[in-house]
Amino acid sequence: MTMAAHNLSQRFPGRRALVTGAASGLGLACAEILAREGWRLVLTDVDAPRLDLVAQSLARDGAPSVAVACDVRDDAAIRALVDEAVAAFGGLDVAIHSAGVATAGAFHTSSAEDWRWVFDINVHGLANCCRAVLPHMSRGAGGLVINVASAASFCTNAKMSSYNAAKAAVVALSETLMQEYAPYGVQTLVAMPGFFRTRLLESARGPERTLEGARRIMQESNLEAAEVAEAMLGAAARGRTHFVYPARYAGLWRLKRLMPQRFQTLLPKLLSRTG
């Protein structure tokens, strides 16, 4: 049991959650934390074989879950999955939207196809999930939506234009949902973590040299998905709306909001120190 999961269970005694991108990374880490606290989980990911392995692993640990392979770009499939989960559980308390992909490369060499790909999954796919869960939460006793963006939404480093733009859109969408659904008892948290170890770059698109640099930074990070998930769920349990992690990225986020023009001038040096 973790303090974050315990506190969420106190807020949501029904313990019913949906997790997208649950086959790896932050989604998997969240699923494992909630499963240990006895939450009933619906897990989805586009990687069906790996998702099945996750469900089997949780079941062996005494935490049965429903695992359904689904592409978040498929609006009808996501709606059907959420409707079935609500019918089976009698409602939905928490939705964690962590499915996403990455792109890299200089802007002038980026393709329209790659822009569509990253926006279709990271923005439109996440919006599909939000449209599916929010009507159930807003008609009932409220709930919690966690949308996973990235520190790239404000640390807009060179050679990441489409990814940066997509994650910034997630932040803007989430902040809009905060305004629209808070009156119905729905908390929206947007997560903006920095680099941590994950499988995100396995499917990333971009020049190999650029991707190799990103892989090196990720491997050198001493931050694991489980630590990020614990901190993120803890922030959600405390009613936070914005989560930036670790602390050094939170400092950069505050600096950008205070001095945006100066921040852009300093960004390359700041990122080299952050790692």
Q: Using one digit for the tens of pLDDT, what is the confidence trace for 38-66?
A: 999 999 999 999 999 999 999 998 888 99
Which residue has 């029904």 as its token pair? 14
Token output for 220 = 């050198």
* pTM (2 d.p.): 0.94
Burial profile 207-236: b = 16 or more Cβ within 10 angstroms, e = fewer:
eeebbeebeeebeeeebebbbbbbbbbbbb
Order across the sheet with 16-20: list the strands: 66-69, 40-45, 16-20, 94-97, 143-148, 186-193, 242-245
- 64: Cβ contacts below 8 Å, ≥ 6 apart: 58
Per-residue pLDDT tens digits for 242-262: 999 999 999 999 999 999 999
Q: How far apart are CA 154 and CA 165, in angstroms?
A: 9
Rounded-to-integer distance, Cα 16 and Cα 162, Å: 34
Whether domain 3-274 has CATH 3.40.50.720: yes
The Cα-based distances of 167 to 90, 124, 259 in angstroms read 32, 11, 21
Q: What span, in angstroms and rounded, lies between the C-alpha atoms of 53 and 37?
A: 20
**Which of 41, 164, 24, 29 has its CA nearest to residue 92?**
41
Q: Is the peptide bond before 183 cis (omega within 30 degrees of 0)?
A: no
Which helix (H) or strand (E) covers residue 17, if one does? strand 16-20
Instruction: Note the pLDDT of residue 210.
Output: 78
Exactly one of 163, 181, 245, 249 is catalytic; which is it? 163
pLDDT band at 164 (very low <50, low <70, confident <90, very high): very high
| Per-residue confidence band for 273, with pLDDT thresholds at 50, 70 and 90 | low
Range 18-39 average pLDDT: 96
CB 98 within 8 A of CB 88: no
For the chain, the residue count is: 275
Q: Which residue has the tokens 């790909």?
A: 117
Residue 1: per-residue pLDDT: 56
Does the pLDDT value for residue 131 go beyond 80? yes
Q: Is the pLDDT of residue 145 over 60?
A: yes
Model confidence over 201-255: pLDDT tens digits?
Answer: 687 888 888 777 777 777 667 789 999 999 999 999 999 999 999 999 999 999 9
Q: Rounded distance, CA 275 to CA 269, Å?
A: 10
163 is catalytic: yes
Higher pLDDT: 82 or 62? It is 82
Percent of the chain with pLDDT over 70: 96
